Chains A and B, each alone.
Chain A
Amino acid sequence: MSDQVTLTIDGKEVTVPRGTKVIEAAKQVGVEIPHFCYHPGLPVDGNCRMCIADVRTWNARAEKHFPARRPAVTCWTDAEENMQVFTDTDEVKKSRATVMEFLLINHPIDCPICDKAGECMLQDHYMQHDGKRSELREEKIHKPRLKPFGERIVYNGERCILCSRCTRFTAHVSKTHDLGIVNRGDRAVVELAQGSTFDNAYTDNVSDICPVGALTKTDFRFKKRVWFLKHTDSVCGGCSRNCNTVVDHDRAEIVRIMPRRRDEVNGHFMCNEGRDIYKSLAATVRTSAPISRVDELGAGPSWDDALAWAGGKLGEQKKGGKLAVIGSPWMSNEEALVLGHLAGKVCKSAWMDIKNDVIEGYPADDLLHTDDHNPNRAGVIAAGVVPGKKDGKDLAAIQEAIAAGEVEVLLVWGTGLANHYDSVEAMHEAVAKVPVVIQLTDAMDALSEVAQLVLPVRNWAERDGTWTNFEGHTSRFRKALRPHGQARDGFELLSAMCTAAGGKPPVKTFKDARKKLKQDPDSDVREVADGEFAFYKGQSLYRHHSGTTEV
């Protein structure tokens, strides 16, 4: 028996590995089979009966296809050799409409106040597969509404279509067994397990995978209608897993962060900490223009003056000896490439290392979250900011040299240098011994209070770049928001600093940097997430702004 089977779906032939479900095989030839309970990231359940199709198996002995007695659920049917699948016969269409009708019997259809409206599979499928008026003449069954499931989720039993996605998620993915379906028939509801507080790190995923608006996030509840949101592909910086995300924003405000499917990085899900990261972003103190504490420049220098001064100070270090460079695991690979070049080729830095910008966060677990709360340590090292590159002179050596007064120029990217000292005061005391401290940062911290020159750069939501996770997979994040004030793109700024210091930047454009880093072209792939149907593409109020049409 070969490992591959060939079958025909709506007249299109497809070859898939044995064991593939028909619904997945159909996706490969562009046939979309509607479904509610099936989710590629969860075990198959087959309870919603929406994905039925006319499936005809090949009988080798009789040498013909046997017509099926009844339509079969394609999410649970394995693809077989020579199988024939028809997804748009009249019988199938009628069955789907009937399934929809049953699902909507007791559904409240309170779309005006439902947060899922606009991205609700029930709405979508109703428009495509049903479209009838309700035949129900009795009062609808009422179930508990506004039922909190832990701190972050609110359950509305009336909207629930009992697809069991949420219970399967807690049983098989988060393995916390928090949710279960109790009672029978039209009294069935999802209940929190006795004694469960539903406070694990992955609770918000149940709201994403819920095909309807039964589980809403307290964080997003009533905040925005989804059709006002613009979606930008991004990457979570909460830990070194680099979960691929979609940043949903309206004007200058990020409203929520949703996971984006990327099988080799995060699969379908992400943790709650990553979803909340936009709050810390909004809470950072930022500077809109360069700040200087040297007399030649004055307090608020122009970018040109600041760059010329910084370039001059760095240019003095061409012979080497007295320059220390501290990179950050929040730099993008492209920025690290230029910083490594600036420190190693344009100037001769004596010390180089990466600091620990963020040291607090969710503890590591065996699902997604890692114990490094910074996104890109691996990528920054691979791109050329190697700790202790010069004779093993790493951060400890830098600290020693600073204390001994040997460092003349200290170039720091980002925040959190104080994490490596006992206290902020100790850091201030040590750094006071360095005549020139240049900080390039997207947020103000203790070092920005004393640095001779603070140059604002854009944060991850405001610039393009790539991060590489601890397993070596590169993911691309894109510009979602307008830059704050005069903050400049880190890649461009470091290239300008190379020129100002009398050297040449290693690459001319961002694209060249990506080429030079030999980046996996897959790094900005966008896999089709579950519930995204081509039929509804372009029906949102605004264009899908993910930049996927680019290279």
Chain B
Amino acid sequence: MSEQLGQNADFDNLIDGHVMPQPAYQGEFTEGEIVKYYNPSRMTLLEKLYVPAIIGGLMITARVFFTNMAKWGIWFTYWIRGKGKDAPKGAVTIYYPEETRPDYSPINRGKHILTMRQQKGPSGEALPQCVACYMCATACPAFCIHIVAGESPDPNIEKYCVEFDIEMDKCIFCGYCEEACPVDAIRLTPEPRMADYQRERMIYDREYLMTWNPTYVEDDHVYPGGHPREE
């Protein structure tokens, strides 16, 4: 560590508390400068020629196509013997988003929800179960949970989250937040569909996290929100 002139190399590498590798750009950040944070391109000549890479790509596509066709061919030999139901199949193309897979596991870790308290707030608003303890934000390896705590309208609850944002595009769906929560306030539903066209909309705020479908039960499984299984 340098003793000089307020240089504290250690601190400058700490971003959100993590020691970060030094970026390529090492100057002071000043206004109006464009900071280069991407890696320089390291393509070989063969890649730069473009056509060979295109041909390589088409070969992969062709390989996958013919392997798949072969699998279906084997399946066909079973099928004509009337054993098609149990035989291994080739890949199936699902026309997402018009079609979705029906076989997501009920314990699939997908979109988050915030659970709510049964009793309403003083003006009838829904109160989140969350007590803004930041355990989830602490446990989150992606550092994508951002909470602002405040004095709850209900003095018996004392503390609750005024803001609760999850950056869904950073989330790695590890489920640690769910594990860490002491009051079962945050849960991951099986819902996998979160794609969007705008980055801003990938930040789910408290209100959105609280607009989940009520729990429903199917095949003895409890689904907190999400969509019913398609036949």
Residues in A lying within 8 Å of B, measured CB to CB: 110-113, 145-146, 221-223, 225, 227-228, 230, 251, 288-289, 458, 462-464, 478-479, 482-483, 485-486, 489, 491-492, 509-511, 541-542, 545, 547, 549-551
Contact with A along B131-171 (1 / 0, CB 8 A): 11111001000000000011100010011000000000000
When the two chains form the complex, which single residue of A222, A288, A486, A549 contacts B1, counting CB atoms closer than 8 Å?
A549
- The reply to whether A486 and B28 contact each other, CB–CB distance below 8 Å, is yes
Q: Does B16 contact A (CB under 8 A)?
A: yes
Q: Is the CB of B131 within 8 A of A491?
A: no
- Distance between Cα atoms of A458 and B131 in the complex (Å): 39
Separation of A483 and B134 alpha carbons in the complex (Å):
29
In whole angstroms, how far apart are the Cα atoms of A511 and B131 in the complex? 48
Contacts of A547 in B (CB 8 A): 1, 8
Interface string of B208-225 (1 = CB under 8 A from A): 000000000000000000
- 10 CB contacts below 8 A, A to B, read A112-B135, A113-B158, A225-B133, A225-B134, A230-B11, A230-B14, A289-B30, A485-B30, A509-B3, A547-B1
Measured in the bound complex, the distance between the Cα atoms of B184 and A87 in whole Å is 41
Between A112, A486, A489, A547, the greatest number of chain B beta carbons within 10 A of the residue's beta carbon is seen for A112
Contact of A228 with B17 at beta-carbon distance under 8 Å, contacts A222-B132, A486-B30, A541-B138 already known: yes
Residues B8 and A479 in contact, CB atoms below 8 Å apart: yes
Minimum CB–CB distance for A490 against chain B, Å? 9
Cβ of A227: which chain B residues have Cβ within 8 Å of it? Answer: 138
By a CB distance below 8 angstroms, the chain A residues around B150 are 222
The main secondary structure of chain A at its interface with chain B is: loop
Name which residue of chain A comes closest to B181, CB basis.
A112
Distance (whole angstroms) from the CB of B208 to the closest CB of chain A: 23
**When the two chains form the complex, which single residue of B1, B5, B30, B158 contacts A550, counting CB atoms closer than 8 Å?**
B1
Please state if A478 and B5 are interface contacts (CB–CB under 8 Å): no
Q: How far is the CB of B119 from chain A (nearest CB, A)?
A: 17
Nearest chain B CB to A463's CB is how many angstroms away?
4
With A112-B182, A113-B158, A485-B30 in contact, do A479 and B6 touch (Cβ < 8 Å)? yes
Interface residues of B in 1-52 (CB under 8 A from A): 1, 3-6, 8, 10-12, 14, 16-17, 28, 30-31
Whether, in the assembled complex, B69 has its beta carbon less than 8 Å from a beta carbon of chain A, the answer is no
Residues of A within 8 A of B62 (CB): none
Residues of B within 8 A of A486 (CB): 28, 30
B3→A482 contact, CB < 8 A: no
Q: Are B11 and A479 in contact (CB under 8 A)?
A: yes
Residue of A nearest to B150 (CB): A222
Q: Is there an interface contact between A545 and B14, defined as CB atoms closer than 8 Å?
A: yes
- Most chain B CB within a 10 A radius of its CB, from A225, A289, A551: A225
